[in-house]
Chain A
Amino acid sequence: MGSSEGQQTFCLKWNHHKTNLVEILEALIKVETYVDCTLVVDDQVTFKAHRVVLAANSPYFQSILADVPMDHCSILFPGVKDFEMRALLEYMYTGEVNVTQAHIPHIMKVAEQLEVKGLFDMTELRRRPGSADRIQPASPPRVVPAAPSSISPPVPAPPSRWPPPPAAPVLSAAYDSTDMNPLKRKKLSSMLATRDTPILRNVLAQTTPVDSSQPISLVCHPVNQHAPPRLHSNGSAHESERASSPQRPFDYRPRRLSSRASSPHFNRSDRSEDAHSPYTERSFEEDNHRNFHPSPPPANFQQDVRAGLAPYVPPQQKPEWKRYKQYTRSDILSAIECVRNGMSALQASRKYGVPSRTLYDKVKKLGITTSRPMSRGVKREPNGAAFPYGLSGTGGGDDGNSSGPLIDPSFLQQALEGATRDGGREALHAMALAAAAHAALAPRTPPRSPPQSPRSPLPDDDHVEDLSVSRRRDHEPPTGVIVPPRNFALDCGSERD
């Protein structure tokens, strides 16, 4: 935990960003908004376009338009037919276009001249010395694939990402390969991070019933100590506006709001290795209370914390290690007594200023039934195994956490309804909340391995679709690596019995 003082940064990442950008551009061109150049082809047919799109799709345009100072420029294409330009523009904006067979050679020719990416790349191949003689224009290795009605970018051109393919098949396909090495896997995870899945959308929708008190946007989880955050921010900027409807077209809801784990709120040093649950809102709240209000806080404070937000941590706060021992043994004993007498552990922890997790642990070990089912549920198993889904500030993983298997809403429901034993109930509830919260934030981040354990090739195998113990075991990695989901599965199984 290198820098503990105030240097907390967040990675705000919106997985829809790329698709949104593309979609917006396409929408803008349809209404010809913000267009800044006019393309004129034969017969005085004109097209409006955005220079930035042209430049993005063609190095040729890029060089031509680089030094064009005008607000609006005209580009004349004598000799180019309107259907050719129309097709190319559609291709440049959407990454695909339907054309008739007869038009293909013309369009390809123009595309070649304009160096339209995806189309141009292939013509480059054709032009290569040596191949030019052998490959005649009409020969089989034509650029255009067999499908007569569409030109699709043959090589991974940037625009071809749109529209994003449904991710579920991608996920399963990717996870099916069991020999993925960590590097590949990392690549995969980053790739997946750009996609959205229907499944995960469902989960997002489900988070509200599971824990209606927590607006999605408020949940943050600490992660990625080692991964370079793509965007650094103090994290508080867009919080509240994201809360309401996750599916708004322009909703910049973060897919991952992760902090460099140096934050005091996420480095609970009393529990450093399973320190942070994804379900951090409450902990944050409590920390605030503890930090600022050693005595019972003003009633509205909690409200404020909840409404506004903030995973943002004022930089001047003391780091956790400086304040986590602010309670005495008598405090904790009094708190335990209160719990024994029916107070909820959360209330008791606030009243006496003790860490609620510690209190839970102690209460639990004493076998006391808490009056409120759950507040923070990350518990330590008696055998010392860390709750696998606690996010670890010290964990070696760099790609999120491991609540993958919990994402299945039906499991959450089942867990909430079916668990009756207090301990299990609490834990399950916590898991469910954690999963829900986490799903809202990092639906696609693969689970992380427990600290110090090597990254397993497929700990996240089929987590997204199901939580099935047997299935999980079927996919046991051959290397015998300890995989967190397995721990989880076992824990879960024992608790649901």
Chain B
Amino acid sequence: MGDQQFFLKWNDFQTNMVTSFRHLRDEKSFTDVTLACEGQTCKAHKMVLSACSPYFKSLLEENPSKHPIIILKDVSYLHLQAILEFMYAGEVNVSQEQLPAFLKTAARLKVKGLAEPPPQMPSIKREV
């Protein structure tokens, strides 16, 4: 009688996760890593960075610090913000002239969905 299992699923789980993380980032709550480039910094969560980028994952694994500061070389702050936006929201708007440089940076940082198997993965929608 007691071994019947129930499948509980929250349909909004993913949306909730996304909005929650985004919210946490906006509030800078529980941020545990600081990214810096071009003299500016933004805070983020190691978990999100690690989940979205093997580059950050290995970097953070190698340096198990409570709150590391990562100073990124040759990354424009604009691109960094866009990449973080992409990591947290799964989408971002990038202007066309910025796009090549942005993708290049994303490739360097091995951002999942932007980097790996070249072009077809992210569907680049043109917004006018």
Contacts and interface: CB of A to CB of B under 8 A. Distances in A.
Interface of A: 38, 40, 44, 59-60, 63-65, 68-70, 73-80, 110, 113-115
B73 A78 contact: yes
Contacts of B36: 60, 64
A76 B68 contact: yes
B70 A70 contact: no
B73 A77 contact: yes
B124 interface: no
18 contacts: A38-B65, A64-B36, A65-B69, A68-B69, A70-B66, A73-B65, A73-B67, A74-B65, A74-B67, A74-B68, A75-B68, A76-B59, A76-B70, A78-B71, A78-B73, A80-B73, A113-B38, A113-B73
How would you classify the secondary structure of chain A's contact residues: helix, strand, loop or mixed? Answer: mixed
Interface residues on B, range: 20 to 34
B57 to A, nearest CB: 13
Contacts of B59: 76, 78
B41 A63 contact: yes
Contacts, number: 62
B41 A73 contact: no
Nearest to B74: A79
A103 to B, nearest CB: 16
A74 B65 CA distance: 6
Q: Which 9 residue pairs spanning A and B have beta carbons closest together?
A: A74-B65, A79-B73, A74-B68, A75-B69, A76-B70, A60-B39, A77-B71, A64-B36, A40-B63
Contacts of A68: 34, 67, 69
B47 interface: no
A365 B36 CA distance: 79
Interface string B42-76: 00000000000001000100110111111111100
Contacts of A77: 71, 73
A73 B73 contact: no
A110 B71 CA distance: 11
A147 to B, nearest CB: 27
Interface in B9-41: 34, 36, 38-41
A117 to B, nearest CB: 13
A328 to B, nearest CB: 76
Given A68-B69, A76-B69, A76-B71, A115 B63 contact: no
Contacts of B72: 78-79
A115 B68 contact: no
Chain B CB within 10 Å, residue with most, of A64, A80, A114, A115: A64
Contacts of A115: 39
A63 to B, nearest CB: 7
A80 B72 CA distance: 9
A69 to B, nearest CB: 8
Contacts of A113: 38, 71, 73-74
Interface string B95-110: 0000000000000000
A462 to B, nearest CB: 49
Nearest to B109: A78
Given A75-B69, A79-B73, 16 more contacts: A63-B41, A64-B71, A68-B69, A70-B66, A74-B63, A75-B68, A76-B71, A77-B73, A78-B55, A78-B70, A79-B74, A80-B71, A80-B73, A110-B73, A113-B73, A113-B74
